Structure 1
Amino acid sequence: AQAMLAGEVHLGLVGPTHVINAVAAGSDMVMIMGNQNKVRYQLVAHPSIKRAEDLKGKTFGIGASMAGLASLAAVMALDHLGLNPRRDKITLLPTGAEPSRLAALKGGTTQATVIAPEISKAAIAEGYPVLVDMAKLNIPFQASGLAVMRKPLRAEPVMVDRVGRALTDSVRFIVNPGNKNIVVPSMMKNLRITDRARAEEVYSDLVEDLPHSICPTVPGVRSIAKLMAEFGINPKAAQVKVEDVVDLTLCKRWGGEAR
């Protein structure tokens, strides 16, 4: 996002917080495509935590940045449970990526965190409860998407159109079951995965994560802006208009539906 603001690159795959922050600061950045329109995290707690109320006064492990996907998912999960970190004295402790967050939970540094289902399996087997499974809640969310500055969007529409169509076609190719035997070996090569079974799991997760619609979800962006304002990530987010953050014109031209 910083490279886009500096004019070093024209487009980028970024989280909506970056676009919302840019627009709130007066920039003309806009999200034109969504490549992950939901969140699959589970709120996993220490075995001593039996219900939502038990999280009051406890420490919650989040990602390295308060504006990151895991951190937003954390406050969204807490909000779903009727909890507010400030009011309920829940400490949001930056603990890094998922392996680090899980280690902090098991080590007792934190009493809850959000992690993906494939990471949480072992913890659940050891008695760590899942208080919220966000994938099952269908909570409006925009995890990431293709963003562009409006100036190159106007000056180089053909370039932007080609990039968008290429990304759209790639999503459709990946989610097509008939292409699985092409996609999985490609993933094994490029991600350096040697175990075919593990590669198949990664493929299944990827297909699950990729959007049914390539358009950014307006309710998802709106809910993130609301959370950013409420939880002090950026108080100015409350004044940002969603129509200034997302533009659905091009994604609708590219077909809208990815599958």
Structure 2
Amino acid sequence: MTSQSGHAAVESSTAPVTLAGGALGFNWLPVFVAQHQGIFARHGLDLVLKRMGSVDKATAAVRAGEANLAITPPEGAIADKIAGGRLRIIAGNANRLPMSLVARPDIKRIEDLNGCVLGTSSLTEGTSIYTREMLAMHGLIYPGDYEFAVVGVHPERWQALQEGRIDAAVQPVPLNFVAIDAGYSNLGEVTDAIPEIVFTAVIGDADWLGQNDGAIRALFKGLIEATAIIYDQSKDAVLVPILMEITRSDASYSLRALNYMRRQQMFPPALEIPDAAFSKTIELMVKADLLDATAEDDARSTLDMSFLQNTGRL
């Protein structure tokens, strides 16, 4: 039974829901809070998490039916919809980029990245798109002025930077702090270049979505509750150990990361996707030649916020 207050269990999902992601990293904090605090269970949701190792693979898992939903950058779902596919974006996860552009210690300016190799997890989703925009503001154009190496998600990028296989990469919290404290150069905060964008969102296949309204509402109610906990500083004793587990960092770095994300208002309280954030996603896809400018309206039709409206929060 659906609770009017949101605190009693809603109708139970009859089967586990598989939620995929690339790294299951820092932006998954609401998911892990809801898991650790029993919030999903209270809403009758049996959630199975699936780490795919890259954002491309997370998107592909939903397309192939290997996962029911994914928390991942939105570009793959948009490209799928443009191509006539069934992927849809149904909620926001993060509308800010809590990342720094971290480089070898001898590199002091973005302009010094001319001729360098930058790490990314994908050439079509996420980090490469943000990196291209940030470097273009300093006169460096891809391809030509630098190249990308697809080395993986943020832990793999940090390892590749330490091993000298790449010269720089955007690194999220708390690895950006770890790298900078270790003497690597901070070439700038990504949010200074891109203040608002759909960093990661919840995506699903339209056919599955149409048949699992109860499970989706349970997921969203759980995530909204967990997000409220994240913004409550009195809950730090609960939140910091969870973030330590997610990011494999110590308590001081995890607390720094938590406060950084709070200051940026990274997690949307009602899982909303502001129009400005989605417009920036489309703009950068066009700039990166991942979307034809004439397909902008079709790209916007990838959004299906009806499931959020059913939670009563939009």
Could you tell me the TM-score, scaled by structure 1's length? Answer: 0.77
Aligned to 2:285, which of 228, 239, 250?
228
CA deviation after TM superposition for structure 1 residue 223, in Å: 2.9
1:166 and 2:244 are equivalent in the alignment: no
The percentage of counterpart residues that share the same residue type is 22
Q: Shift in Å at residue 39 of structure 1? A: 0.8
The equivalent of 1:76 in structure 2 is: 133
Cα distance 1:26–1:236, how it changes in 2: closer, same or farther (>3 A)? farther
Match in the other structure for 1:85: 142
Shift of residue 33, structure 1, vs aligned partner: 1.0
State the 1:108 CA deviation: 4.4
SS of equivalent residue, structure 1 residue 173:
helix
Task: Please list every run of 5 or more consecutive structure 2 residues that lacks an aligned counterpart in the other structure.
Answer: 1-58
Q: Are 2:221 and 2:311, in contact at CA under 8 Å, matched by a contact in 1? A: yes
Name the structure 1 match of 2:10.
Answer: none
Q: Distance in 2 between matches of 1:194 and 1:224?
A: 30
Q: CA deviation at 1:252?
A: 4.8
Contact 2:95-2:200 at 8 Å conserved across structures: yes
Aligned to 1:52: 110
Q: 1:33 aligns with which of 75, 81, 91?
A: 91
Identify if the C-alpha distance between structure 1 residues 43 and 197 changes in structure 2 by more than 3 Å, giving closer, same or farther: closer
Could you tell me which residue of structure 1 aligns to residue 62 of structure 2? 4
Secondary structure at the residue paired with 1:245?
A: coil
Deviations 1:47-102, CA, capped at 9 Å, x for gaps: 44343333222222223x2234333332232233343212x421112233434434
CA contact (8 A) 2:111 2:139 kept: no
What is the match of residue 248 of structure 1? 305
Q: After TM superposition, give the deviation of residue 151 of structure 1 in Å.
A: 3.0
Cα deviations by residue, 1:158-187 (Å, 9 ceiling, x for unpaired)? 332222222212212332233333344556
- RMSD over aligned CA atoms reads 3.4
Q: Which has the higher helix share?
A: 1
Residue from 237, 251, 264 that aligns with 1:181 = 237
- Following the alignment from structure 1 to structure 2, what is the Cα–Cα distance between the partners of residues 59 and 2? 26
Confirm or deny: 8 A CA contact 1:72 1:224 kept in the other structure.
no
Shift of 1:137: 4.4
Question: Shift of the alpha carbon at 1:13?
Answer: 2.1
Give deviations 1:104-143, integer Å, cap 9, x for gaps.
Answer: 4455443322112532335435654322211344522212
Q: Is the 8 A contact 1:31 1:216 kept in 2?
A: no
**Do 2:228 and 2:269's aligned partners in 1 also have CA atoms closer than 8 Å?**
no
Q: Over residues 15-40 of structure 1, what are the superposed CA-to-partner deviations in whole Å (9 max), with x where a residue is unaligned?
A: 20221122122123211211111111
Equivalent in the alignment of 2:188: 132
Alpha-carbon distance in 2 for matches of 1:55, 1:195: 31
Quote how far apart the aligned CAs of 1:228 are.
3.4
Deviates more, 1:21-30 or 1:126-135: 126-135
How far apart, in 1, do the equivalents of 2:140 and 2:204 lie?
35
Equivalent residue for 1:214? 271
Post-superposition shift, 1:229?
4.1
Structure 1 pair 72–246 and aligned structure 2 pair: CA distance change class (3 A): same
Flag the 1:138–1:247 CA change in 2: closer, same or farther, 3 A.
same
Higher relative contact order (CA 8 A, sep 6+): 1
Q: CA deviation at 1:201?
A: 4.5
After superposing on structure 2, the runs of 4+ consecutive aligned residues of structure 1 that deviate more than 6 Å are none
Tell me, in whole angstroms, the C-alpha distance in 1 between the residues paired with 2:247 and 2:194.
Answer: 33
